[in-house]
């Protein structure tokens, strides 16, 4: 093979390999940023007392929004935007909380359109908690029937999840269904913590123990 043709072939092969690697590099870039946000969120919700998390969650919400804008076809950044916005809503209170809750719902519903499992059920758990806690009526979107449907969907995907059972138990307690609430609180205590989410899952396990004592 003439030298020029060999050089062109080698360059072409290198270019093809480089183009093939680009999507992987991009994927690793957003995955690393999600991992950083997740770790920061874990520290905030497990190490900072309630009432002192708002600034940190506000900063994380901005990061999540920018990451979603840069990766519009990816479900996982949307799930984490929803989780962070939902946490911020709980911390803020008032009308600010409602705007965060609505952004959380929008992000999570977009996520499940892209990934019907909702990132191993996480999107459905958070949606269930949102529909449970947000007021209904003209201003809000709260709906106990939709909340229960979301929790049931999460249970079907991840039946041993601590978070799934804890938030479902909290919902059932509010509904006055105490026997079912006790059962799901017990299953939360016995549930499986997720890799990378041990701190927040263990905090929920402890809250489930407290719930069982109360019930």
Q: Is residue 76 in a domain? A: yes
Query: How many domains does the structure of the chain reveal?
Result: 1
Per residue in 122-140, pLDDT (tens digit) is 999 999 999 999 988 768 8
Out of 19-33, 45-59, 161-175, give the one with best mean pLDDT.
161-175
- The residues near 172 (Cβ < 8 Å, ≥ 6 apart) are 178, 180, 181, 184
Confidence of residue 80 (pLDDT cuts 50, 70, 90): very high
Q: Is residue 139 in a domain? A: yes
pLDDT at 28: 63
Q: Is residue 18 in a domain? A: no
Q: Is residue 23 in a domain? A: no
Q: Is residue 115 in a domain? A: yes
Q: Is residue 133 in a domain? A: yes
Q: What is the pTM of this model?
A: 0.85
Q: Is residue 184 in a domain? A: no
- What is the CATH classification number for the domain harbouring 120? 1.25.40.10
Per residue in 145-196, pLDDT (tens digit) is 999 999 999 999 999 999 999 999 999 999 999 999 999 999 999 999 998 8
Domain span at 44: 30-158
Element (H, E) at 143: none
The tokens describing 164, both together, are: 């799934």
Interatomic CA distance for residues 16 and 66, integer angstroms: 30
CB 142 within 8 A of CB 136: yes
Q: Is residue 60 in a domain? A: yes
């Amino acid at each position: 093979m003439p030298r020029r043709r060999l050089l062109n072939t080698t360059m072409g092969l290198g270019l093809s390999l480089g183009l093939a690697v680009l999507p992987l590099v991009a994927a690793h870039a957003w995955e690393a940023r999600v991992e950083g946000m997740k770790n920061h969120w874990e520290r905030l919700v497990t190490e900072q007392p309630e009432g002192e998390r708002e600034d940190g969650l506000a900063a994380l919400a901005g990061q999540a929004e920018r990451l979603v804008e840069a990766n519009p076809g990816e479900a996982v950044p949307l799930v984490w935007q929803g989780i962070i916005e939902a946490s911020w809503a709980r911390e803020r209170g008032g009308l600010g909380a409602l705007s965060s809750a609505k952004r959380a719902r929008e992000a999570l519903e977009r996520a499940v359109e892209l990934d019907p499992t909702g990132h191993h059920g996480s999107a459905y758990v958070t949606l269930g908690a949102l529909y449970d806690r947000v007021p209904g009526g003209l201003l809000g979107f709260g709906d106990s029937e939709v909340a229960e449907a979301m929790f049931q969907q999460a249970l079907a995907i991840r039946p041993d999840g601590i978070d799934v059972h804890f938030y479902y138990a909290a919902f059932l307690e509010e509904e006055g269904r105490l026997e079912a609430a006790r059962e799901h609180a017990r299953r939360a205590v016995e549930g499986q913590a997720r890799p990378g989410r041990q701190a927040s899952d263990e905090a929920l396990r402890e809250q489930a123990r407290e719930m069982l004592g109360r019930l």
